[in-house]
Amino acid sequence: MTTRTATQQREHARVAYDAYLATCPARQLLDRISDKWVSLLLTALADGPQRYSSLSRTIAGVSQKMLTQTLRTLERDGLVSRSVTPTVPVRVDYALTPLGVSLLPVMQAIKDWAETHIEQVTVARDTYDKRSTSPG
């Protein structure tokens, strides 16, 4: 088992886990990373470690509760590391782990897609709503 190559391991995972199955652990993970705070947090950490207060400023509108909660979850899942500098007052830095870095391109792609396609979506919504209102 320990002699599997990275490619073999990837193949193994592809066969063993299926996010379409409700009870599959991969489904739960998909659910967890399909979260706006996750994508915003990971992309915010793209350029290097950030302090808690810096993150809360970057990600406008995030409550302290959601920020802490999301950071804890990401830390537990091994995507983000937390390092405390015991000064007074205390300084806490968050950074991406290698696992977090592996997810980063995808998260950036989502954020990018949203920013570059919102105008098309807005047009589509107007068209859809107009169709529904006047059934001409």
Partner DNA sequence: CGGCATCCCTAAAGATACTG
Partner DNA sequence: CAGTATCTTTAGGGATGCCG
Residues that bind DNA (CB under 7 A): 35-37, 51-54, 61-66, 68-69, 71-72, 82, 89-94
- Give the binding-site size for its own copies (rule: CB under 8 A): 58
- Calculate ∠ Cα 8-9-11, nearest 5°: 65
What one-letter code names the amino acid at 55?
Answer: L
- 55-74 residues in contact with its own copies (CB under 8 A) are 58-61
Say whether residue 82 binds its own copies (CB under 8 A).
Answer: no
Instruction: Sheet with 50-51: list strands edge to edge.
Output: 50-51, 91-96, 80-85
Which residue, 67 or 103, is less far from DNA as judged by CB? 67
Choice from 42, 71, 96, 110 touching its own copies (CB under 8 A): 110
What one-letter code names the amino acid at 19?
Answer: A
Say whether residue 135 binds its own copies (CB under 8 A).
Answer: no
The helix (run of H) or strand (run of E) holding residue 71 is: helix 64-76
Measured from the CB of residue 136, what is the shortest distance to its own copies in angstroms?
Answer: 16
Measured from the CB of residue 7, what is the shortest distance to DNA in angstroms?
Answer: 34
Integer Cα distance of 58 and 42 in angstroms: 12
Which residue, 89 or 98, is less far from its own copies as judged by CB? 98
Integer Cα distance of 78 and 71 in angstroms: 10
